[in-house]
Amino acid sequence: MGLGLLNAQSTLFQENWDGQGPGISSWTLHNVDGLTPIAASAASNDGLPALVTNAWNVLSLTQIKNSGASSYLTFAYPPAATGMAGNVAVVNSWYNPAGVANDWLVSPQINIPAAATGVNLTWSATSLGAASYLENYKVYISTTGNQVANFTTILKTVTDESSSGTYHTVNLNSYIGQNVYIAFRDDSNDEYIMLLDNIKVTSTNTLATADIAKKQTYFSPNPTRDFLNIKTDSKINSVSVVDITGKKVNVKLENDKVDVRSLPAGTYLINVETKDGITTEKFIKK
């Protein structure tokens, strides 16, 4: 297999909610607080919080502008500093009754090749509204899984995210050669809304195409009850699934999804082969 070279900076993972990345269906959401966003009728006709029906939702900037929230947008919208355009991930902390948010947005598994150097996680974020309602959140990393209990390492704590927009950078060199998950957790107490966009994991050195094959394949939903969807940049040549003992189990590939309905509940490994190599991912059958 030939090894193609990438540009001087290699993108190991990216998500801009506009097609550059796996999309929200490949991310794992945890709505731990279970609180109810305030209704427009109780929020001076501001319908934006009520649009955030999950832990996080992807909304277009047009939806946000037309939601009735215009009286709360106290800056040139959207902030030029964020580079936001099209769709963004949105989290809400304005509830009725009021409470503390605990909403998680967890990335698919990201492979950081052993050959990578100068690895950074970057993202852009902005709070909406007045200075008294700025959002707080934490960014975590896990090497063991995508569930809340897996995230014990905090990469960054952000207090009062700016309403003028901020680009953030965190170094990930200590995770070179590992598979990781990144989580954004909003833990604001009765604030308002935050937007998140332009998430990237990059390496400063040039990597061979084979080194980043894993980043091109994503799986969702995980856990799953019936089908495991595969999103990849390349044609799928073959798929195999093994249980935790290493025994191969029978599954059926239908276009870009695998039928796992016949499998007993448990943990499995799926291997997907494309022209770029083989990607292996752990998944849970409910």
By CB atoms closer than 10 A (0-12, 13-18, 19+), residue 249 is: middle
- Given a contact cutoff of 8 angstroms between Cβ atoms, the answer to whether 141 and 180 are in contact is yes
Interval 165-211: pLDDT, tens:
899 999 999 999 999 999 999 999 999 999 999 999 999 875 655 55
The SS3 of residue 225 is coil
Query: Sorting pLDDT into bands at 50, 70 and 90, what band is 85?
Result: confident
Average pLDDT, the chain: 86
- Whole-number percent of the chain with pLDDT over 70: 87
- Given a contact cutoff of 8 angstroms between Cβ atoms, the answer to whether 109 and 144 are in contact is no
| Euclidean distance between CA atoms 154 and 179, whole angstroms | 17
Interval 242-259: pLDDT, tens:
887 778 899 999 888 999
- Best-predicted range by mean pLDDT (15-24, 34-43, 56-65, 100-109): 100-109
**Residue from 156, 164, 160 nearest 121 by CA:** 156
Is-above-0.95 flag for pTM?
A: no
CA dihedral sign of residues 122, 79, 28, 18: negative
Q: What separation, in Å, do the N-terminal and C-terminal C-alpha atoms of the chain show?
A: 37
| Per-residue CA distances from 120 to 27, 103, 169, 209, 233 (Å) | 20, 24, 7, 19, 23
Q: Which residues lie closer than 8 Å to 70 by C-beta, 6 or more apart? A: none
Which CATH architecture fits 221-285?
Sandwich (2.60)
Mean pLDDT of 34-41: 93
By CB atoms closer than 10 A (0-12, 13-18, 19+), residue 259 is: middle
Answer CATH for 10-203 from 3.40.640.10, 3.30.2350.10, 2.40.10.220, 2.60.120.200: 2.60.120.200
- Given a contact cutoff of 8 angstroms between Cβ atoms, the answer to whether 126 and 163 are in contact is yes
Domains in the chain: boundaries: 10-203, 221-285
| Euclidean distance between CA atoms 194 and 240, whole angstroms | 40
Query: Sorting pLDDT into bands at 50, 70 and 90, what band is 2?
Result: very low
Q: Which residues lie closer than 8 Å to 22 by C-beta, 6 or more apart? A: 15, 108, 218, 220, 231
